[in-house]
């Protein structure tokens, strides 16, 4: 576990939501683009029981091999400069968040995360964003878009703190 990254995800559901929110049926929804973003998120998968997590990523060979035996929902890609897939992923996010009722959405980006983060917050879900390890001095577009709605925002390099006012630096995932 990364020091300080727990964010209360191991607390009871009543402690997370109080009486204003019904109990979540899924502990965490892990959202990431395939490739390095997914690999970074995989480093934390054992923090939640397999039965309490659902993955959202792209249907690509690396994702299929990494997520064998996991509960996975496939998102639409590519997300770069594709308004059509943004709309499709927004509808997918709405459907999946309503279906799984996650207590938290944890993401390392990239573009696929944006609709999940915004709709997650609209549904009262905690959103935990972890800026990519590759972002040493300049913020990502996804980070800039998600920062305003993230419940918790983590960076993996101290230099990134100046770009994100509410970010926390707690070390590296790797």
Could you state, in chain order, the average pLDDT of each consecutive group of 10 residues for the chain (174 residues)?
36 36 73 93 90 95 95 92 91 96 94 96 96 90 96 96 94 80
Q: What pLDDT, on a 0 to 100 scale, did the predictor assign at position 26?
A: 87
Domains of the chain: 18-44+52-169 (3.40.50.2000)
Strand order in the sheet with 152-155: 72-75, 53-58, 26-32, 102-109, 126-130, 152-155, 168-169
Give the global pTM.
0.84
């Amino acid at each position: 576990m990364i020091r300080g990254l727990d964010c209360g995800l191991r607390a009871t559901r009543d402690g997370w939501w109080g009486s204003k929110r019904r109990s979540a049926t899924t502990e965490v929804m892990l959202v990431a683009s395939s490739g390095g973003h997914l690999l970074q998120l995989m480093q934390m998968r054992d923090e939640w029981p397999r039965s309490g997590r659902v993955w959202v990523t792209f249907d690509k060979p690396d994702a299929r091999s990494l997520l064998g035996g996991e509960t996975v929902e496939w998102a639409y890609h590519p997300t770069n400069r594709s308004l059509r897939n943004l709309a499709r992923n927004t509808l997918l996010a709405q459907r999946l968040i309503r279906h799984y009722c996650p207590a938290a959405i944890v993401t390392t980006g990239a573009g696929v995360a944006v609709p999940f983060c915004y709709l997650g917050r609209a549904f009262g879900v905690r959103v935990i964003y972890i800026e990519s390890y590759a972002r040493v001095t300049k913020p990502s577009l996804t980070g800039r878009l998600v920062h305003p709605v993230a419940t918790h925002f983590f960076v993996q390099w101290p230099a990134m703190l100046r770009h994100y006012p509410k970010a926390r630096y707690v070390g590296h995932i790797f």
